Amino acid sequence: METATQLLQQYTFEPVKSKLRAEQHTLAVQAQDRAIPFGHFKIRLKNIDNQQSYLLELKQALQLTTTTGLQLRSRLHGVHVKHARHLVPNGYHVLASLTIKSAPEDAHQFVHDKTKLACLIPVSKHHATDLPDQVPLYAFTDNHQLVINQQAMAHLFLTCIRQTTHSKVS
């Protein structure tokens, strides 16, 4: 499988638990009924034809980056973070980390492989002003249903597999 479209013709991503936990931290998206959840999520990549599946773990976190490249952990929900004057905040990033926990027998060489993706996200007044295409997981705020961005997850998964095949060849 070379492209995300080819992967999505044979496989589909689905969350193991479809609801957001009550204590889960989220970043609401302005003027939309969506939010970006943060934490650990188990996801299943299932073959449409024979129902074989990969078990994946997705971690999403929010990170603040300064103009000098220093990464700061920022807290949401009412905790104000004061930064030194020389560490002016530059932008927020959603960090997505994907780990393959288990795989079918014919693809067992990919187990425990990891990849990371950083996606710049515009934040204003504790709300995201937009939901970028690269964010792999989001939730609806009205029913707390988790939704997977199939295209973004496919790119993340293929990056994980490509890193593995390159490291095995070298």
Q: Where are the domains of the chain?
A: 4-169
Lowest average pLDDT, out of 15-19, 66-70, 140-144, goes to: 66-70
- In the three-class reduction of DSSP (H, G, I as helix; E, B as strand; rest coil), residue 2 is classed as coil
What does pTM read for this prediction? 0.78
Q: How far apart are CA 126 and CA 74, in angstroms?
A: 11
Chain segment 67-115, per-residue pLDDT in tens: 555 555 555 444 444 555 555 556 788 889 999 888 887 766 667 678 8
Chain segment 54-76, per-residue pLDDT in tens: 999 999 988 776 655 555 555 54
